[in-house]
Structure 1
Amino acid sequence: MSDDASQGDAADAFADRARAEHGESIRRLVVFGDAVRGDDRGVHTSVEVLLVLEDEADDRELERRLEALAETVGIEHGVVFTVHVLPAERFDARTEHPFVRTALEEGRSYV
C-alpha cells in the first residue's frame, strides 16, 4: 500500500468514525495539509484535520475525545494526525483567516 493510499484510508476512517460517534456536534470536518496535497516528501506521514464544532458542544471534552480518536486511527494506519478544533462561532468570524482559508481551499471536506 502506498503512503498516499494509507493517508486517504486514514482520513476516511477518521471522518467515518468521528461522524458516527460525534456527528451531531460536528459542523465541518476538513482534512488538509502536505499529506493531502501529496507533498509530504516521504519525510513523515501526517494528516491535518480542521474540525468545527457546534457552539452548544462541550468543546474541551469533545476535543479530547476527537484527538484520542485521531491518535487511535493514526496508529491503525501508520500516520500522525494533527487536529485543529474551532467552535462554530469562532470559525464563522474568521473564515478569511489564512489558516482557515487554506484548509477549506486545499482540503477534502467530509462534513
Structure 2
Amino acid sequence: MTTLYHNPRCSKSRQALHLLEEEGETIEIVRYIENPPSHQELKQIIELLGIKPIELVRTQEADWKINFKGKELTDEQIIDAMCQNPKLIERPIAINGTHAVLGRPPEKVLDIL
C-alpha cells in the first residue's frame, strides 16, 4: 500500500494519483491541506525522503515569501512553518513502507512500487 500526500487542486498530484491507480496500487490518500501532518509526522516524512526540511518547502508560495523568506530558520522552525501552513509543503509525496519519494515529476512515484 502507498500513502499519497495529495492536493487535488495540484495537477502533478492528480497525475501521480492516476499513475498509482493505473498500476493497481492500493492507495491511502492524505489530503494534507485539510489534515496537516504533525511536526513529528512531517519530520519522519523528511527523514524517509532523505532531504533537508527546506527542500520540501514551496519557496515560491506567497506565504513563504511574506512570512519566512530571508529569515534564518532552524530545521525545526521550517518544519513548524510547514505544519502551520500546509500549502508550503511540496507535493505530491508518496510513501510505501520505508521508501518515500517526492513526485516531481509525477512518474517518480512509481519508483517506490
* Fold shared per TM-score above 0.5: no
Query: Between Structure 1 and Structure 2, which shows a larger proportion of strand residues?
Result: 1
TM-score, normalised by the number of residues in structure 1: 0.30
Query: Between Structure 1 and Structure 2, which shows a larger proportion of helix residues?
Result: 1
